Amino acid sequence: MGKKNFALGKNIFNINKIEPIDLLNELSEKIKYGCAVGVDGRSYDYFRNNKDAIINEMNDSIHNESYTLSPYKEMLLIKGRNEYPRCLSIPTIQDKLFLYFILNQIDRLDSSLKLPLPQQVIGKLIKSLGEVSSRKDVYIEKYDIRHFFNSINHKILFKEIDELIINKVGILDISDKFLIESCRKAIQNPTLPIRKKNYKGVPQGIPIASELSQIYFSKIELALRRKDVEVFRYVDDIILICHMEGRL
């Protein structure tokens, strides 16, 4: 049975609404032993031993729309001898659970925003290449968007987030205003040791980073597909298959 909504005046009530505390308990299964520790120094064991109290406190702050993120902790990953390290932003375990909650709300708005698995993208690409391998009117372009997450423009991203979320009544378990504000705060949250707000790019390492990149890139993909271009993208790696010369 699909989702049902009852309209009463200007309000819409979702009878399938899930209480935040129930969803938080469900999503807490995503928090695994050995996960990275944030700036508060609290480990998985601390979270496991105090889970009920933590979730009750989170539930209250979500209802009050007052949840506050702690700064992220910087983690550097070495990519290669001659390359700059990749900077990850590590949330506290409690904040990670909250961001999983926000991710759940985003996915309800548009399930296509969920990042496909690499093998799914590769499988579709291999199938498409097999279908066009004997054709001479097909052109293939490969792109790697350098510093993709770090270069995302906030003004554009916030506009796309607003358009996706505003007035989506009867779908979310929280208000559209709180979801928008939570996304913005997660994007601009500082990564220590830098204490200033982040005004460019999306922090890598937070649960909603991939979906935010999908939101940012979705209109470009749609425009390409309208021009008869097949798009195969996994984060910042893109392959385009064009069936007519001059379309790319």
Split the chain (248 residues) into runs of 10 and give each run's mean pLDDT.
Answer: 40 61 95 91 96 97 96 89 85 97 92 82 88 80 86 94 81 89 97 91 94 88 80 86 64
Inter-CA distances, 223 with 134, 209, 237, Å: 26, 23, 18
Per DSSP, 139 falls in state E
Rounded-to-integer distance, Cα 66 and Cα 178, Å:
9
This prediction has a pTM of 0.83
In this prediction, residue 18 carries a pLDDT of 80
Nearest Cα residue to 74 out of 61, 88, 85: 88
